[in-house]
Amino acid sequence: MRIGELSRLTGVSVRSLRYYEEQGLLRPRRRPSGYREYRAEDAATVRGIRLMLAAGLSTATIGELLPCMTDDGEALTPSCSGMLPDLHRERERLSDAAADLLAARDRLDTLIEATARLDPADPAQCDALVPSSALPPRTGRLA
């Protein structure tokens, strides 16, 4: 099948399919005309790639894990436990990123609470609320 048909079958854009090929995740045959020729199994591979991308894995990691996946007729599923250390590593990376985001949210909550306690009676006292046209011109120097 050609790339447009694979795109329709999987719901993945042609651009994404080309990117997966650039990353070595898909390896279509080339016709003498230069057109890509995909096999039916490539649809399962694309669905597996999408699943792993949704799980937060990079295309480099997906490339390492794809050889450990098999097509069960509906989707790609793990076929060897050798990929477990990689999956644990990626889970730890995602957990660290989530902790960083939660810490940033906590800092933002602190700013919101501190700001909410301010007297809103005179918003003109806050330079951030004054239109930039009402501010004196900048001299280019830091104060």
Q: What are 75-119's pLDDT values in tens digits? A: 778 888 888 898 899 999 999 999 999 999 999 999 999 888 877
User: What whole-number distance in Å separates Cα of residue 26 and Cα of residue 39?
Assistant: 10
Rounded to 5 degrees, what angle do the CA atoms 35, 38, 41 make? 175
Contact present, 64 and 58 (Cβ < 8 Å):
no
4 burial (CB, 10 Å; 0-12 / 13-18 / 19+) is exposed
Looking at domain 3-117, which CATH architecture does it have?
Orthogonal Bundle (1.10)
Task: Tell me the two tokens of residue 55.
Answer: 């799980």
Q: What are 22-76's pLDDT values in tens digits? A: 999 999 999 999 888 999 889 989 999 998 999 999 999 999 888 888 887 777 7
Q: Report domain extents, the chain.
A: 3-117
User: What whole-number distance in Å separates Cα of residue 125 and Cα of residue 128?
Assistant: 9
Kindly report the pTM of this predicted structure: 0.68
